[in-house]
Structure 1
């Protein structure tokens, strides 16, 4: 695969790459490292799957993938005891492999395996001297649980995440847009303590099935990658999907990110009395739906059918492990 093809593969479907020129430089290395961190705090859902799909693209482009199973971060974010979180980390690891990551080129690292080392904490302290409270709190706005009484843990969390990039030797940091402020903190402050800034890539966030800003296992507004066909059907049936509404519509987003990335057209099955079957590309789907020429129930039924089929290999993998 030539450089241009690698660049196109990595960039497609992302919201931003910071920066393209730096990414080209990283691709010149024998085996650059791409890192992402996940809190092991619940079910792996379709929101996570967007970033995993991009990790697979990065693998194809020659990156080694390092996934931080961020148990201490989950603990600092109030997601349970360390024992509960470590058990969840093992389940999460199986889920990521079930989604298609190559096990030979993916390394899973538990945060607690290195985050109490003396040299690690020294770098956290150095960053603490460089980072204002306002900046640290702002970087966590889309990550922490809603709370009236904010904890000191919230400002330790982003400093640790920045230092993680050093210890995992990350050439590239991947995350959803909720990670952007922490990534920018890393790009600004890592050179100030003697390290290179990583390339940062941000993917779209998937709205929750209730229409809220972000799909989240803690909010219960998610479709898990190992949900049964009946669970998928029931969750999509109850999902926010107002007639004619495109922006913030999770069902249209699932179609965009998981159906139209695999094929150019989607077949919508309808009885003849309701206009018969439709074969639409993504633009045509948006046009018809925005004009209310396609009923939400027909869209939901179609997306359900496709998603059940797309996630079948995941369910089979999980059942056999």
Structure 2
């Protein structure tokens, strides 16, 4: 691919670039670029929001460049202040390592493992002496760091800002120095930190990295940034039917935002919204689980929701008795994560046993056979009470 074509592909879907001219020059240098993406493994799961920069990283890989995945096992224990109105809670080293293991497996659903260099930033930070840490802090001023919007807002509100939080952008920037990054990719909320990386590289006489920012993905609620804690996320490791079904639940307006971010193009103007949404859902499942499972997920969705049928494969669950409260059933088979969620679904009429809608959370189900339970739009289970 010629330089201009490669540049157009890589800039597609980005929000800000520092700078396109520098990227063009480096693409024409006839050598693989080192493209950095850093993650602090503060939770065990990746969701679609995390996948946006990973898809861009894969584009660089497909053009022959080297992905450098920086696992922030050191910085995760400090906590990125980005987008926060309070300091993040401290994470333990054991928790970070455990999360990092699942991050790698899930990231490789998108990235080519043969073109990924994985580094841990504890490798250099844990070797730093106190003197070296203080010398690193000399490379920026408090005035410069406090210009960051997150800090400005907290300062104006009189909210506390930890000294360790002010140090975080320097740590992320120093990662770029240590891996000699040519390009860094990140969400639009990471722009400040990535520009600090450019500045630090120039100070140590390295060519400053090109910075590409990508838009933040709104969650399935269409209101907030995708976040597992807000319950509006689609996990990279979720099952094919779950990914397909959750994607189909988004509004047409949100679909119009997801298309350019995830697919790199607009919704076809002549496409029916339902068909366009199915195409998006099928593409997502295919990226994480393969074409065959994507086709099957679509068929299952259409069978259940378009033709009002049940899935071909329904999991079976053994129950310890022939009579149980409905909330205990839902919890024991994993249909809901908590009794409060089960109570909400039952009250809304979203739980059916053999077609009979249960609306009282205090209900007890007495079994005479192996009934079919449906919870919400996508959860089906065949119940097998003891002795029946």
Provide the TM-score with structure 2 as the length reference: 0.62
* Other-structure match for 1:5: 5
- The partner residue of 1:64 within 55, 58, 66 is 66
- The partner residue of 2:177 within 159, 162, 166 is 166
Residues 119, 174 of structure 1: alpha-carbon distance in 2 compared, 3 angstrom cutoff: farther
1:311 has 2:320 as partner: no
Give the secondary-structure state (helix, strand or coil) at the position aligned to 2:219. Answer: coil
1:224: how far off?
0.7
1:167: how far off?
0.5
* Other-structure match for 1:104: 114
- The partner residue of 1:84 within 66, 80, 95 is 95
8 Å Cα contact 1:19/1:200 also seen in 2: yes
- The partner residue of 1:253 within 253, 257, 265 is 257
1:120: how far off?
10
* Other-structure match for 2:166: 155
1:257: how far off?
3.3
1:282: how far off?
3.3
* Other-structure match for 1:270: none
Q: Deviations over 1:145-195 (max 9, x none)?
A: 9x9543222112110111110101111111111111112223334323433
1:236: how far off?
4.5
Residues 185, 103 of structure 1: alpha-carbon distance in 2 compared, 3 angstrom cutoff: same
8 Å Cα contact 1:225/1:314 also seen in 2: no
Residues 24, 120 of structure 1: alpha-carbon distance in 2 compared, 3 angstrom cutoff: farther
1:127: how far off?
4.4
Cα-Cα RMSD? 3.3
For 1:203-242, list aligned pairs within 5 A.
Answer: 203-232=214-243, 235-236=246-247, 241=251
8 Å Cα contact 1:71/1:112 also seen in 2: yes
Farther-moved stretch of structure 1 (102-111 vs 210-219): 210-219
8 Å Cα contact 1:33/1:170 also seen in 2: yes
Structure of greater Rg: 2
Give the secondary-structure state (helix, strand or coil) at the position aligned to 1:173. Answer: strand
Q: Deviations over 1:86-114 (max 9, x none)?
A: 11111101111112x22121111122122
Aligned residues: 277
8 Å Cα contact 2:220/2:246 also seen in 1: yes
Greater RCO between the two (CA within 8 Å, min separation 6)? 1
1:17 has 2:14 as partner: no
1:220: how far off?
3.4
1:181 has 2:158 as partner: no
What CA distance in whole angstroms lies between the structure 1 residues aligned with 2:137 and 2:291? 41
* Other-structure match for 2:383: none
1:136 has 2:145 as partner: yes
Residues 20, 300 of structure 1: alpha-carbon distance in 2 compared, 3 angstrom cutoff: closer
1:284: how far off?
5.0
Residues 181, 284 of structure 1: alpha-carbon distance in 2 compared, 3 angstrom cutoff: farther
1:138: how far off?
4.6
Return 5+ residue gaps in structure 1 as ranges.
Answer: 265-280, 289-293, 317-321
1:41 has 2:54 as partner: no
Q: Deviations over 1:242-287 (max 9, x none)?
A: x7xx4xx3x33333333565xx8xxxxxxxxxxxxxxxx43456xx
Residues 299, 60 of structure 1: alpha-carbon distance in 2 compared, 3 angstrom cutoff: closer
